[in-house]
C-alpha cells in the first residue's frame, strides 16, 4: 500500500514499516498525512500476518504536530484535535508498534510517538511538547502519556516550559528509551521488530492488550479534560497572534 505521503513497506513477512514523508509540511499533520496514517493503520488492522509495526519519518523529521492552518482552525472553534484521532493509532493497534523517531518530534508529533509500545530517539534530533509556546494547553493526550512515559517531574517541565530538548539531553536526564545516532535508529528498530516477530502473533496481541489496558481505559477521560482546557485557553486572541507569529520559528 502506498499513499502519496505515507508509505508501507513489508520489511519481512511479519514486519511492516509505516514511513511518513510529507516533505512540503515537514511531516506536520496536514490532511494528506492524517488521512494516510489513518488508512495505513486500518490496512494493518485488517492483515493477519504482521507481528510488528515500525513507525518512522524521513531524513531529520519524525513528525511535526499541527500545521499552522490546523491550529488556527482549532483556535477559531471550527475543529478539535479529536476530529482526526492520530494520537492513539499506535495504542489501539493490535500488534506492537515501534516508534523509530529518527528525526525531530514536535508537539503532537512527539506525543503520537510516545503512544507506541517501543520508542527509539536520535541523539541529534529535537523533541518538544511545545503547546504552551503558542499559549494553549496541551492536547493529543499529552497530559497523560508524557508523564506515563517520561515520569511526572520531567513531563511537567516539558509540558509547562515547552522547551526544546535534544535526544542526547533527554538521555542524560534518564529517559527509559534507547537513544542512538540518527543513522542507527531504523536499523535498531528493525532488529527489535525481528525479535518480536519470533513470538506467536496471538501471544503478542494478548500481552499487549493486557499491558496497555489501563492506558486505553484512562485515555478517553483525559481527552475530555484536555478539551475542557482547550475551551478555556485555545480561543484567546493572544493564541491566534502566537500561532501566526511564532509558527515555524
The active-site residue, picked from 21, 104, 230, 235, is 230
80-121 pLDDT, tens per residue?
Answer: 999 988 999 999 999 999 999 999 999 999 999 999 999 999
Domain 6-183: which CATH class?
Answer: alpha beta
pLDDT mean across residues, the chain = 96
pTM, two decimal places: 0.96
Q: What is the pLDDT of residues 189-211, one digit of tens each?
A: 999 999 999 999 999 999 999 99
Q: Domain residue spans in the chain?
A: 6-183
Residues in Cβ contact with 202 at an 8 Å cutoff, skipping those fewer than 6 apart: none
Residue 2 has pLDDT above 60, yes or no: no
Using the predicted structure, report yes or no on whether residue 1 has a pLDDT greater than 70: no
Contact call for residues 60 and 47 (beta carbons, < 8 A): no
Three-point CA angle 67, 68, 69, nearest 5°: 90
Verify whether residue 230 is a known catalytic residue.
yes
Amino acid at each position: 500500500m502506498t499513499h502519496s505521503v505515507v508509505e508501507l513497506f513489508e520489511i519481512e513477512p511479519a514486519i511492516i514499516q509505516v514511513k511518513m514523508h510529507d516533505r512540503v509540511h515537514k511531516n506536520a499533520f496536514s490532511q494528506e498525512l492524517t488521512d494516510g496514517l489513518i488508512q495505513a493503520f486500518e490496512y494493518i488492522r485488517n492483515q493477519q500476518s504482521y507481528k510488528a509495526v515500525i513507525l518512522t519519518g524521513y531524513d531529520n523529521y519524525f513528525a511535526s504536530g499541527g500545521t499552522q492552518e490546523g491550529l488556527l482552525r482549532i483556535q477559531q472553534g471550527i475543529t478539535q484535535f479529536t476530529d482526526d484521532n492520530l494520537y492513539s493509532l499506535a495504542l489501539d493497534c493490535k500488534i506492537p508498534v515501534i516508534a523509530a523517531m529518527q528525526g525531530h518530534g514536535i508537539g503532537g508529533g512527539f506525543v503520537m510517538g510516545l503512544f507506541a509500545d517501543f520508542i527509539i530517539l536520535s541523539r541529534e534530533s529535537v523533541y518538544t511538547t511545545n503547546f504552551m509556546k503558542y499559549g494553549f494547553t496541551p492536547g493529543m493526550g499529552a497530559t497523560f502519556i508524557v508523564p506515563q512515559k517520561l515520569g511526572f517531574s520531567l513531563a511537567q517541565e516539558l509540558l509547562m516550559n515547552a522547551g526544546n530538548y535534544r535526544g542526547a539531553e533527554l538521555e542524560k536526564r534518564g529517559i527509559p528509551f534507547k537513544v542512538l545516532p540518527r543513522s542507527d535508529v531504523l536499523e535498531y528498530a528493525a532488529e527489535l521488530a525481528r525479535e518480536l516477530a519470533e513470538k506467536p502473533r496471538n501471544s503478542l496481541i494478548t500481552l499487549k492488550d493486557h499491558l496497555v489496558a489501563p492506558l486505553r481505559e484512562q485515555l478517553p477521560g483525559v481527552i475530555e479534560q484536555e478539551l475542557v482546557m482547550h475551551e478555556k485557553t485555545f480561543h484567546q486572541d493572544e493564541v491566534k497572534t502566537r500561532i501566526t507569529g511564532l509558527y515555524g520559528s
